[in-house]
């Protein structure tokens, strides 16, 4: 059997790369993609079998780039569906060039600039306020990109906030580790596939390792998650309530509701609703019943995937 082809949000040594390495088997071929849209397009065009993309962080909340692609107002990714999830405990480190500071030194007054992804600033605010108050912060496309920039600088004394994985890849020293504000800082990644591909119908976590970054094995879960999108009429009082009651009546527990602009009419939104259900003989057709009900009271409803719930209590 040919190795699985897996896209991840690049560049190499990003947290997405780490999630792909930890979750998929070693023989899988991993392909960095320069943007969220590029990763989605690779799945839609069947250039890869799967893509693993960050969806939300326990500290900073939803990743809006992923939500926008799931909302898909222009129907560019009509065949892309969610088929799994992976949780990565995110530990941030302060990375510097090799030999810049003696081991154990905590005087970083010579550092004039810090690089990292915007999400990381908010996850390390306590450390930054204490150690780097007033130091210039430079946003970059990923934490890995920040590490790459620091690894190539030879004059300016700068540092990056990134992972141990990125430090090893780019040959940097770890000046400080675990600098995140919350020790249980976790990012959830969604695994995507094309419903028309040869891999469709296969549970991806039968093909990949299911041990979590926390070192605990994820057993076969008793619940499933489902993601559905829809729009509602703006001139119909109670339209959203009518839609949400369908989930309740069908026995699905809603766990999150997000909205993104529809790009069709100003102030008209796509609702992205995620819920949990326990698969039993009585409700195995839950999703079909929900979709049938939503088609009567919403516009443009779409089932974006059902997969095994692999959440681990934080």
Q: What domains are there in the chain, each with its CATH number?
A: 5-89+184-195 (3.40.190.10), 93-177 (3.40.190.10), 224-308 (3.30.70.260)
- Whole-number pLDDT of residue 214: 41
Supply the DSSP string of 141-168, one letter for each residue: S-HHHHHHHHHH-SSS-EEEEE-HHHHH
Q: pLDDT category, 255, cuts 50, 70, 90?
A: very high
Cβ neighbours of residue 248 closer than 8 Å, sequence gap 6 or more: 254
Separation between Cα atoms, residue 18 and residue 191, nearest integer Å: 14
Backbone angles phi, psi at 38, to 5 degrees: -65, -35
pLDDT band at 283 (very low <50, low <70, confident <90, very high): low
Write the CB contacts of 290 (distance below 8 Å, at least 6 apart in sequence). Answer: 226, 228, 246, 247, 250, 252
d(CA 40, CA 7): 9
Query: Which of the 8 DSSP states describes residue 206?
Result: G
CB atoms within 10 A of CB 227: 21
DSSP assignment of 40-77: HHHHHTTSSSEEEEEEEETTTEE-HHHHHHHH-TT-TT
303: β partners: 228
Predicted confidence at residue 55, as pLDDT, reads: 95
Decide if pLDDT at 206 tops 50.
Answer: no
What whole-number distance in Å separates Cα of residue 158 and Cα of residue 130?
Answer: 17
Residue 215's pLDDT band (cuts 50, 70, 90): very low
How far apart are the C-alpha atoms of 156 and 167, rounded to whole Å? 18
pLDDT score, position 281: 53
Average pLDDT score over residue span 213-235: 74
- Is 279 buried (19+), middle (13-18) or exposed (0-12) by CB count in 10 A? middle
**Can you tell me the mean pLDDT for 91-108?**
90
Average pLDDT score over residue span 97-120: 90
For 127-165, the pLDDT digits (tens) are: 999 999 999 999 998 899 999 999 999 877 999 999 999
Separation between Cα atoms, residue 48 and residue 40, nearest integer Å: 10
Please give the model's pTM, rounded to 2 decimal places: 0.86
């Amino acid at each position: 059997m040919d190795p699985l082809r897996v896209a991840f949000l690049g560049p190499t040594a990003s947290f997405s790369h780490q999630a792909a390495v930890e979750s998929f088997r070693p023989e899988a071929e991993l392909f960095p993609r320069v943007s969220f849209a590029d990763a989605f397009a690779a799945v839609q065009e069947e250039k890869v079998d799967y893509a693993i993309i960050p969806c939300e962080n326990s500290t900073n909340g939803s990743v809006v780039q992923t939500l926008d692609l799931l909302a898909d107002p222009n129907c560019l990714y009509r065949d892309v569906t969610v088929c799994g999830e992976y949780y990565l405990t995110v530990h941030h480190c302060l990375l510097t060039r090799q030999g810049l500071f003696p081991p154990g030194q905590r005087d970083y007054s010579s550092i004039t600039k810090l690089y990292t992804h915007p999400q990381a600033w908010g996850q390390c605010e306590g450390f930054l306020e204490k150690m780097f108050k007033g130091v210039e912060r430079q946003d970059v496309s990923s934490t890995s990109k920040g590490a790459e920039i620091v690894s190539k600088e030879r004059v300016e004394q700068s540092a990056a906030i990134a992972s141990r994985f990125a430090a090893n890849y780019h040959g940097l020293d770890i000046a400080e580790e675990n600098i995140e504000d919350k020790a249980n800082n976790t990012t959830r990644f969604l695994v995507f596939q094309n419903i028309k591909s040869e891999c469709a119908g296969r549970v991806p976590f039968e093909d990949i390792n299911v041990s979590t970054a926390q070192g605990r094995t994820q057993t076969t879960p008793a619940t499933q998650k489902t993601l559905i999108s829809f729009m509602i009429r703006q001139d119909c009082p109670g339209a959203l309530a009518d839609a949400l009651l369908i989930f309740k009546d069908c026995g699905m527990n809603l766990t999150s509701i997000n909205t993104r602009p529809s790009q069709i009419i100003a102030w008209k939104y796509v609702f992205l609703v995620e819920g949990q259900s326990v698969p039993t003989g009585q409700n195995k057709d839950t999703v079909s019943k929900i979709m049938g009900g939503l088609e009567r009271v919403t516009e443009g409803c779409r089932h974006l995937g059902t997969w095994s719930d692999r959440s681990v209590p934080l």
